[in-house]
Structure 1
Amino acid sequence: MKNIEKPKLKDVAELAGVSIGSASRALSTPHLVKPATLEKVAAAVLKLGYVRDGAARALASRRTHSIGAIFPTFNIPVFADAVQALQQRLNELGYHLIISSHEYDPERELISVRNMIERGVEGLLLVGTEHRPAVYDALNASHCPFILMWSLDGSHPHHCVGFSNEEGGRMVARHLLDLGHKDIAMISGVVAYNERAKYRLKGVTQTLKDAGIELAPNRIIEQPFTLEGGRAGLRMAMELTPRPTAIVCSTDVTCMGAIAEARLQGIDVPSQLSITGFDDMEFAAVSVPALTTVRVPATDIGISSASNIVAMIEGRPVAKRDRVQIDLIVRQSTAPAKAW
């Protein structure tokens, strides 16, 4: 059988009537190419069935134009919003996104970091500010630029894009105190290997302490960031003495689970029990009742992280701490305290 030679970039350029350089730019950085040139190159690519040889191109240029992003999980919608924004912004800048998750397992995170580096990513995005020393060792040894997303909490020298989870916890606690709540419990995320859950808890407990309310250990209920975690947490909270008049949830997902379980138990939210969330996911506003929650601009985090990592790769100055704005959104899941 006769071998059919694969079309090359020069064939695309000839058919489109442009230079090889213009054809290359149209394929690698289309946003920098005139629409007319882009249209001609796209038509030539389609007619010839041309596919770029990524490995050869990377070897020749020593560039992969790929960015890695490692998330704790993809089960939380707010992370999905960030991934979408990341991908769109990186595409605009001529880069593509490679994603992975570690499900809160520090060993899996380290493996993912090493795999990304071995595959030649030019930059890496990690969620959170607390990672194993081996993660930073691998990044520094490879000279791979990286940014920590989602948190500004903690003391560290690294570039980050995010907000103070501790301040978000304070916002929620102050709101409940203003409503007269004193018997409060918290359905926290599992704090181990999750500094976002840790600092949200810290913000709540410290604000309550400042108001003269000590949140006892049995009133801090660690559960996974899932609907069932929220359900289980609510059941445990209702066994406390005295019963809480308000429950703080570390994320909207557990908040929804807690509200569903309260409904099952015949507990009215918010007249008998106020419940708050965190993240302001898309469904928070249409939940019944609509959730009082902390709005986290996941899209802004994704866009800023993409822009900053590309700026680092291309040698442009980047702010050490890029802060996004969070806000308390008061809706119908909270009300003034009433004794049981």
Structure 2
Amino acid sequence: MVNEEKLKILLIEHSAEDADVVLKILSQSGFRINYQCVTTTEDLQEALKIQDWNVILSDYALPRFNACDVIKLIKNQGLDTPLIIISSNVGEEAAASIMALGAYDFMMKTNLTRLVPVIRRSLREANNYQRFITAQTALQKSEALFQAITSNLPGVVFQFQLSSNDQASFPYVSDASETLLGLSPQKLMSNPELFPELILAEDKESYCQLMMTSAEQLSTWNWEGCIQVKGDSDIKWISLRATPRRMLDGVMLWDGIMINITRNKLAEREITRSREQLAELSSYLQKVKEQERARIAREIHDDIGGTLTAIKCELFPCMDKTARKLGKH
């Protein structure tokens, strides 16, 4: 009900008496009315520019223009204000024609019992339409923001769905699938079985097992594996991470992202290889040290030991002579 709201009505009527009848009916129904009455196209154009009207009430035929002209003016200005035709001498054929052109409703001046209900219905529908437009605008902004975010992410954003009879599908796939998977979003959503076909045979089992575990335990689906894009000789490592939700109909829905981790894997392999080489080098150096120690020990034993023995042998005679001299004294 709008009986506590001001109703802005634009009257297109050349009869002041008929206009007063309409305004009296609306006032008695509890509306607080703000209205303007026009009789020419110039006044109508001006009125449409300066005010947003809740509803337009128009006679079918005025001395200088008719309801068809009114509809054209409203459309030319891009307005969706409900137009209700009130006439006294129009037949059913003309009424049907004017309704087809875009009039909201049609009634005779001799029977205005439907006027208030029709206005209230038009206000509700206009309000609902405005809400729809607001929601649609907000949705479009959200979609544009989402697209802007996903287009700058280094991976494929996706929704993966598994029905109660294990039918897989992709309700959503971002544009990056073309680069990572060699498949357009539309193609992958139309043919979800194309993704498992990319996975190398040795990684398919872990892909399926981790997916089922995630579905059963409602845990995060984490999987790493190799894929090979059709027509591409290189193998890619990808990391898949998705969060599951169980829908009311029993369907499992994952929201996730797939990223290319080939560089990381190659770097890990290079680091592992470098560590192995370092370990081999360390082992070799240790072996060289031990060999060098053994060589030095042999040299000390063989060369220096022999020299010391020879020196000792040379010193014994001298020591004996010295001892005899000392004994005489």
Question: Shared fold by TM > 0.5?
Answer: no
Structure of higher RCO (CA pairs closer than 8 Å, 6+ residues apart): 1
Larger-gyration structure (1/2): 2
Tell me the TM-score range normalised by the shorter chain.
under 0.3
Q: Which has the higher helix share?
A: 2
What TM-score do you get using the length of structure 1 for normalisation?
0.22
Compute the TM-score of the two structures, normalised by the length of structure 2: 0.23
The structure carrying a bigger strand percent of its residues is 2
